[in-house]
């Protein structure tokens, strides 16, 4: 059984800019996404977000938005017959909703001492001095791709409303 959780594109795409080059090489070798026309890292991240989420959507039987994980994942739990109590799941989601900034957690010594300086600098900027998250910043890179991302996200959201 496959589930697909979708995170908001603006949050995800900006976070993707902190990938290590080994991760980027793996992604490019996967064959998902045409990165040839992307000269900037942000454009590369946009292609990655869209192509991988489109692929995941096709493969998954269940779909939900991260912002709606409290109720969105429940149909998959029911299908798995794990016996997870809906009220207990919602309570646990509420308890963990105030987690610390994951971007800052990626800057802990145990994680960064092997991180290349360029990646470390991008992670530091992402955690403490984030680039503006806006549809316009994506459109400035590739307007057509931005429209495709928005359309996919809006359609996904409409299909997963509970």
Residue spans of alpha helices (H) in 117-161: 117-128, 135-139, 143-159
CA distance 76 to 4: 10
**pLDDT band for position 15 (cuts 50, 70, 90):** confident
Contact 48, 72 (CB under 8 A): no
Q: What is the pLDDT of residues 45-99, one digit of tens each?
A: 999 999 999 999 999 999 999 888 899 999 999 999 999 999 999 988 888 765 5
Q: What percent of the chain has pLDDT over 70?
A: 85
Listed by start position, the domains of the chain span 3-159
Cα distances from 133 to residues 2, 7, 100, 126, 130, in angstroms, run 30, 14, 19, 11, 8
Give the distance, in angstroms, between the CA of residue 48 and the centroid of all CA atoms in the same chain: 10
Report whether 60 contacts 27 (CB < 8 A): no
pTM over 0.75: yes
pLDDT at 104 over 80: no
- Taking 60 as the threshold, does the pLDDT of residue 31 lie above it? yes
């Amino acid at each position: 059984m496959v589930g697909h959780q979708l995170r908001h594109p603006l949050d995800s795409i900006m976070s993707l800019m902190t990938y290590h080059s080994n991760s980027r090489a793996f992604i490019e070798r996967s064959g998902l996404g045409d990165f040839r026309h992307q000269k900037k890292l942000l454009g590369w991240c946009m292609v990655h977000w869209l192509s991988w989420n489109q692929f995941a959507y096709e493969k998954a039987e269940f779909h939900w938005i991260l912002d709606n994980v409290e109720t969105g994942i429940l149909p998959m739990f029911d299908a798995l017959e794990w016996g997870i109590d809906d009220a207990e799941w919602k309570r646990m989601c509420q308890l963990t909703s105030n987690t610390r900034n994951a971007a800052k957690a990626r800057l802990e010594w145990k994680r960064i001492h092997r991180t290349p300086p360029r990646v470390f600098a991008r992670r530091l900027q992402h955690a403490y001095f984030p680039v503006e998250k806006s549809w316009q910043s994506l459109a400035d890179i590739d307007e057509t791709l931005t429209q495709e991302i928005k359309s996919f996200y809006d359609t996904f959201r409409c299909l997963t409303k509970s």
